[in-house]
């Protein structure tokens, strides 16, 4: 029994130690349970707060949706009112033009009637003519004043004019014939204008202005004027044919026209109506219209002097990256990121041809019968405007960002993302020269490079804010201009007279160089 008591004591001790261990574990678990309960309570409070916030946000969302519906309804009403106002304005302008033409025609008819009446009076007027003393067959006593009444019939006038050499004095019929002939010529000219479809008082068709011929372009050396041209990034710049008018387009959906006066850029006009960022601007050959490509999947056409867009060319399904006039003011070409190039008849505002390409189009230029497009797949494609096919493909290194065609249409300048410019001989379709320089960087897919008007130089802006100019004949870097630009230069333009250069950058600046 003593032995059993010892064994029982040993077993009891083991059980007591196990009990203590379990008690300690139980205390630890109880502490953990308390911590977990506290965490659970915190999470419950967070869930309740989140639910309250969700309810508030749902209510705010509903209020915003209701407000959006009201705003959309107000926008539709405003758009309808704008369309009605535009229609009334167009009708009023048409009525005013018709009334003005009618007044001018009445005035011209009255003027013609007055001239005809004066001619009839002049034809019936009696002219006193004195015989010359040297007239043979007439004596001194027979000298007397003779009165001659000039008939008004054309046949008699022609006979008198044909026989005037037989008379010793100049007949008044010759003068009458000259006046009649002049009047007939004027009437013929007026009738010719009418046959061409112009009323006498109508606005004459704008004729193309003569483009200055640049014999030798002047290298820019210093900045004449620096200004903030737009409210945000400036993407495009273009000179008009007369070299004194400049257009800039920016991400603020506006096009500003500037006059180059005395080495300064003076604001001329702001063209509105675009609903997206401007990516490209171009003047027609007469300088009377401006065409712009936008990120709103459309191109817009303005008439210089009118603030609102004249036509909107829609049909692309993605951003329009380039819009250029052809050699006539009535035709244009656009390129887009929807992998198409479109030809437009501006007279009827419709797409006359769609060219499907395999890559994004970043820029286009037009020659006599050729359309040249640069693409993101590192290729330049040539299209015959008279046939629906690609005539030539030239591969280059890097995505093509811009194209510039020389004035003689014999050389093409391309800029690409491999930080090089390439001169392509259009006649043989091969790369003639490659330009690069230390520090030059093509910073975006819309960086524009141009030829000088005489094709002696190639100009491009860099990502470091500098302008680089290469000599086309030697292939060497002619100069680099630094200073005003503190951001990447997006586009450059060289005026047709060769005297000025304008550059625009991503920091809203436009710089006039001379």
Amino acid 128: pLDDT: 56
Of 29-38, 40-49, 102-111, 258-267, the least confident: 102-111
Strand order in the sheet with 489-494: 223-228, 509-513, 501-505, 489-494
Q: Between 228 and 98, whose confidence is greater? A: 228
Among 90-104, 129-143, 207-221, 268-282, the range of highest mean pLDDT: 268-282
205 near 198, Cβ under 8 Å?
yes
**Percentage of the chain with pLDDT > 90?**
62
Of 3-12, 94-103, 283-292, 465-474, the least confident: 94-103
106 pLDDT more than 90: no
Of 131-145, 377-391, 419-433, 456-470, the least confident: 131-145
* For residues 98-106, average pLDDT: 80
DSSP readout, 55-104?
A: HHHHHHHHHHHHHHHHHHHHHHHHHHHHHHHHHHHHHHHHHHHHHHHHHH
Average confidence score pLDDT of the chain? 83
Q: What's the Cα-to-Cα distance from 297 to each of 317, 320, 321, 447, rounded to whole Å? A: 6, 5, 9, 20
* For residues 421-434, average pLDDT: 93
* For residues 59-64, average pLDDT: 94
Q: What is the DSSP letter of 231?
A: S
CATH placement of domain 223-513: 2.130.10.10
pLDDT digits (tens, 9 = 90+) for 158-192: 343 344 333 333 333 333 344 444 444 454 444 44
Nearest to 318 by CA among 295, 299, 287, 285: 295
362 near 403, Cβ under 8 Å?
no
Distance of alpha carbon 456 from the chain centroid:
26
* For residues 180-205, average pLDDT: 43
Amino acid 310: pLDDT: 86
pLDDT confidence bin for 25, thresholds 50/70/90: very high
Amino acid 126: pLDDT: 66
pLDDT confidence bin for 92, thresholds 50/70/90: confident
Amino acid 151: pLDDT: 41
Of 31-40, 119-128, 410-419, the least confident: 119-128
Amino acid 444: pLDDT: 92
The token pair that represents 285 in the structure block: 């050959």
DSSP readout, 297-349?
A: SEEEEEETT-SB-SEEEE--SS-EEEEEE-SSTTEEEEEETTSEEEEEETTTT
* For residues 418-431, average pLDDT: 93
* For residues 73-84, average pLDDT: 90
Q: Domain map of the chain by residue range?
A: 117-195, 223-513
Amino acid 28: pLDDT: 93
For the CA atoms of 59, 65, 68, 74, the dihedral, rounded to the nearest 10 degrees, stands at: -100
Q: What is the DSSP letter of 205?
A: P
CA–CA dist 170, 122 (Å, integer): 16
pLDDT confidence bin for 217, thresholds 50/70/90: confident
- Helix count (H) and strand count (E) of the chain? 3, 30
Q: Where are the beta strands (DSSP E) in 178-305?
A: 223-228, 234-239, 245-250, 255-261, 264-271, 278-283, 289-294, 298-303
Among 4-18, 160-174, 192-206, the range of highest mean pLDDT: 4-18
Amino acid 127: pLDDT: 55
pLDDT digits (tens, 9 = 90+) for 330-388: 899 999 999 999 999 998 888 999 999 989 999 999 988 899 999 999 999 999 887 77
User: 388 in helix, strand or coil?
Assistant: coil
Amino acid 155: pLDDT: 41
**Residues 6+ away with beta carbon under 8 Å from 219:** 457, 469, 478, 479
Amino acid 213: pLDDT: 58
Distance of alpha carbon 14 from the chain centroid:
98
Amino acid 117: pLDDT: 85
* For residues 466-490, average pLDDT: 94
487 near 445, Cβ under 8 Å?
no
Amino acid 212: pLDDT: 52
CA–CA dist 434, 472 (Å, integer): 10
pLDDT confidence bin for 118, thresholds 50/70/90: confident
Of 94-98, 289-293, 374-378, 501-505, the least confident: 94-98
* For residues 72-92, average pLDDT: 88
pTM, entire model: 0.61
Nearest to 279 by CA among 352, 350, 334, 349: 334
Q: Alpha helices of 408-490 — where are they, by DSSP H? A: none
CA-based radius of gyration for the chain: 42
319 near 274, Cβ under 8 Å?
no
* For residues 31-38, average pLDDT: 94
Q: Alpha helices of 153-304 — where are they, by DSSP H? A: 154-162, 172-195
CA–CA dist 274, 133 (Å, integer): 83
Amino acid 168: pLDDT: 39
């Amino acid at each position: 029994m003593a032995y059993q008591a010892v064994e029982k004591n040993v077993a009891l001790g083991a059980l007591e130690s196990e009990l203590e261990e379990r008690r300690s574990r139980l205390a630890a678990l109880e502490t953990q349970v308390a911590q977990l309960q506290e965490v659970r309570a915190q999470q419950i409070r967070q869930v309740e707060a989140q639910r309250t916030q969700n309810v508030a946000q749902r209510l705010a969302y509903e209020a915003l949706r209701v407000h959006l519906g009201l705003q959309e309804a107000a926008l539709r009403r405003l758009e309808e009112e704008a369309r009605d106002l535009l229609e009334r304005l167009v009708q009023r302008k048409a009525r005013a033009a018709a009334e003005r033409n009618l007044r001018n025609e009445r005035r011209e008819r009255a003027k013609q009637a007055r001239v005809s009446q004066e001619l009839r009076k002049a034809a019936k007027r009696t002219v006193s003519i004195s015989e010359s003393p040297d007239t043979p067959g007439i004596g001194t006593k027979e000298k007397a004043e003779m009165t001659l009444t000039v008939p008004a019939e054309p046949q008699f006038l022609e006979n008198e004019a044909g026989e005037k050499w037989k008379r010793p004095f100049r007949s008044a019929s010759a003068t009458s014939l000259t006046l009649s002939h002049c009047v007939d010529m004027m009437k013929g000219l007026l009738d010719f204008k009418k046959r061409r479809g112009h009323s006498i008082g109508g606005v004459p068709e704008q004729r193309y202005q003569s483009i200055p011929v640049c014999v030798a372009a002047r290298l820019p050396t210093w900045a004449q004027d620096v200004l903030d041209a737009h409210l945000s990034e400036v993407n495009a710049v273009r000179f008009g044919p007369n070299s004194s008018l400049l257009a800039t387009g920016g991400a603020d959906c506006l096009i500003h026209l500037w006059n180059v006066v005395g080495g300064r850029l003076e604001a001329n006009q702001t063209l509105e109506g675009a609903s997206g960022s401007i990516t490209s601007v171009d003047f027609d050959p007469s300088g009377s219209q401006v065409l712009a490509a936008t990120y709103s999947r459309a191109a817009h056409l303005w008439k210089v002097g009118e603030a609102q867009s004249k036509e909107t060319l829609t049909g692309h399904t993605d951003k329009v990256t380039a819009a250029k006039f052809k050699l006539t003011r009535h035709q244009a070409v656009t390129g887009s990121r929807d992998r198409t190039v479109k030809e437009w008849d501006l007279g009827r505002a419709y797409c006359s041809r769609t060219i499907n390409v395999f890559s994004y189009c970043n820029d286009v230029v037009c020659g006599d019968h050729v359309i040249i497009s640069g693409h993101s797949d590192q290729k330049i494609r040539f299209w015959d405007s008279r046939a629906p096919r690609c005539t030539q493909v030239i591969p280059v290194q890097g995505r093509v960002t811009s194209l510039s065609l020389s004035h003689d249409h014999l050389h093409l300048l391309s800029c690409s993302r491999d930080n090089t410019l390439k001169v392509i001989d259009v006649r043989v379709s091969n790369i003639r020269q490659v330009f690069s320089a230390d520090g030059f960087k093509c910073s975006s897919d819309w960086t524009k490079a141009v030829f000088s008007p005489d094709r002696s130089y190639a100009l491009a802006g860099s990502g470091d804010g500098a302008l680089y100019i290469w000599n086309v004949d030697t292939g060497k870097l002619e100069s680099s201009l630094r200073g005003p630009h503190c951001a990447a230069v997006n586009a450059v333009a060289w005026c047709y007279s060769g005297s000025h250069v304008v550059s625009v950058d991503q920091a809203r600046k436009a710089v006039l160089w001379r």
